[in-house]
Structure 1
């Protein structure tokens, strides 16, 4: 029985642990505190700060662990890749690639200013404003996660008012400002095999209007995209993967469409942090979380052959609540026709701050009738092999 260590114990890491157990692997998990459901889901949990690479490596050696990985965490991916490189364990992307994706400045530089899907940007270490800075723009830390410290800036006053707050969320102390792209948001989940795009599926990413960039729900199939836009998007994400170095395994892109053109907001060489693998399993028949581990540990990509015919749309909607408040499950309505749901907290628990504004406390998935959606092979317009 192979042993797999998952870095982190949040609900998205619990997903990975449960799938690994279903596949017959012995599961280990570590985090700096027992503060997530993955700790109880794993066969073995140990309190270890995942940033302490030497201690994590010592732990891997002690228990003769065969692989280390994570999902839904930008912080964990460079660590998992670096450890795997040092210990000759299996991995999809190099620590260099994982680090590039974990730093918005390096990601923009890797794509290149001439890359059509890139966004004009500037990086600041102090709040001295430059005369060529055009508003409005998005201001955010170069290297944080969880949608922390992100602001839409419309004036010099807003820039100066929020600069230090953004800087405090940046581990490097750098702040990046990017041109504001006006248009609908989409999420792209894809899978690479030896440099080829083997699976791609697009969902509409709906956000809370009062909270910039914070997701409310994901909906498939996308109403934003058509065949021509999908062709442009496919070409763009494939080239982006090649430029950054994502040649194998899953990748997640957050994209905005402006006047029919896609622009990359985020890219990361991992599965997303929104349980999208569940939504896509219902919609396509392909379980990309299962695919990830079978490919990583056994070289098996047969999961890609499990497409099914569909005639319904699907959506995943989050329950959200302000941090540092008390959870009350009764305030949230779970649809009677829902396919599944999950709460991150019990009633009476205090909501831990993640993005610090409006944090996820649970979700549900349901199917929906989509006018004009004919029975078709799942992913015909979105999947490639």
Structure 2
């Protein structure tokens, strides 16, 4: 029986661990603390900081681990791929690629000028004056999960936004990006030998009072997306970043039918989209991914002749207070729901503004669009 180590124990990692359990693998998980459902879902758990490469490497050797992987975490992917390279374990992309996708400055520098690239500047100076026309987004160069992000409308607001981004950056730097008007989408895809073999677009609905923070993902096959531009932009990024195999997730803005890549990463998203996709067209992307990674079995995808429009809606609340789930009402027809906490637990700050505390999945009703 192969032994698989998952880095992290949050709900998204717990889903991967549970899938591996169902597939008959022996599961291991590590995290700095036993503070997520993945710790109990795994057959073996140890308290190890996932970015402590020496400690993780020792754990892999001591337990004869056959593969190390993660989902939903840019922080984990560089470690997983670096150690996989060093220890001769299976992996989809190189450490260099995983690192670039976890560092917005590196990714933007590598993809500058290609199809779908967004104009940007990088600074660690609080009083930096941008040449990019307002409004702009200001982000940590190496952040994820919407931490430290601000939408800036004017020059007067910029210093505070840069300071906020720098504070949330391990590298102490901010990236300033052109704000792309238009609608926002997510693209979940799968790459085999450098080519997109699966592409699914979902509409991102964000909270109006918190720009960029996700409220809903909507999969509706009746929406007419500019697929040629979307796939061209993603393929250009795949080739430039050398993402040759495995799952990919991209956050994309569409302006005048032209796609712009906001983020792209060689992993599953952190929004449970694989669940929504399975309800939509029955494709089990987690299972296909693990068969590809662990058994070298190339995935085969549906032709989407039979699809069911679905919505994934997040429950969100202000962090650093006790969660009260009685305030949330399940949408009609809910087929699955999940709570990140027990009733009355204190909400941990992730983005620090309006954090996810759970989700509902339910069929799309046209009056909602």
User: TM-score, with normalisation over the residues of structure 2?
Assistant: 0.96
SS in 2 for 1:29: strand
Task: Answer yes or no: is the 8 Å Cα contact 1:72–1:274 preserved in 2.
Answer: yes
Correspondence for 2:196: 197
Q: 1:224 to 1:140 in 2, by over 3 A?
A: farther
Q: Residue 188 of structure 1 aligns with which residue?
A: 187
Instruction: Report the counterpart of residue 38 of structure 1 in structure 2.
Output: 38
CA RMSD of aligned residues (A): 1.4
CA contact (8 A) 2:115 2:236 kept: no
Q: Deviations over 1:144-178 (max 9, x none)?
A: 11111111111121112232121111111111101
SS at match of 2:335: strand
Matching residue within 332, 337, 345 for 2:333: 337
Task: Output the CA distance in 2 between the equivalents of 1:340 and 1:294.
Answer: 25
> 1:252 offset after TM fit, Å?
0.3
Distance 1:141 1:135 in 2: 18
Please list every run of at least 4 consecutive aligned residues from structure 1 whose deviation after the TM superposition is greater than 3 angstroms: 222-226, 305-309
Is this contact kept in 2: 1:340–1:364, CA < 8 A? yes
| CA distance in 1: counterparts of 2:301 and 2:82, whole angstroms | 32
Q: CA–CA distance in 1 between the matches of 2:74 and 2:334?
A: 30
Q: How does 1:86-235 map to 2 (within 5 A)?
A: 86-112=86-112, 114-130=113-129, 132-221=131-220, 225-226=224-225, 229-235=226-232
Question: Separation in 1 of the partners of 2:71 and 2:328?
Answer: 27
Compared with structure 1, are the counterparts of its residues 308 and 254 closer, same or farther at alpha carbon in structure 2 (3 Å cutoff)? closer
Distance 1:110 1:5 in 2: 31
Pick from 288, 292, 296: which aligns with 2:293? 296
1:57 is matched with which residue? 57
Greater shift, 152-161 or 101-110, is seen at 152-161
Match of 1:376 in 2: none
1:323 maps to 2:319: yes
Which runs of 5 or more structure 2 residues have no equivalent in the other structure? none
Q: 2:258 maps to which residue? A: 261
* 1:243 partnered with 2:240: yes
TM-score normalized with structure 1 length: 0.92
- Give the Cα–Cα distance (whole angstroms) in 1 for the partners of residues 211 and 161 of structure 2: 14
Query: What secondary structure sits across from 1:213 in the alignment?
Result: coil
Q: Secondary structure at the match of 1:310?
A: coil
Q: Which residue of 2 aligns with 1:48?
A: 48
Q: Secondary structure at the match of 1:338?
A: coil
Distance 2:356 2:237 in 1: 29
Matched, 1:284 2:257: no
Between the two proteins, the alignment pairs up a number of residues equal to 367
Deviation at 1:87? 0.3
The answer (yes or no) to whether the contact 2:124–2:162 under 8 Å persists in 1 is no
Q: Which residue in the other structure is 1:310 paired with?
A: 306
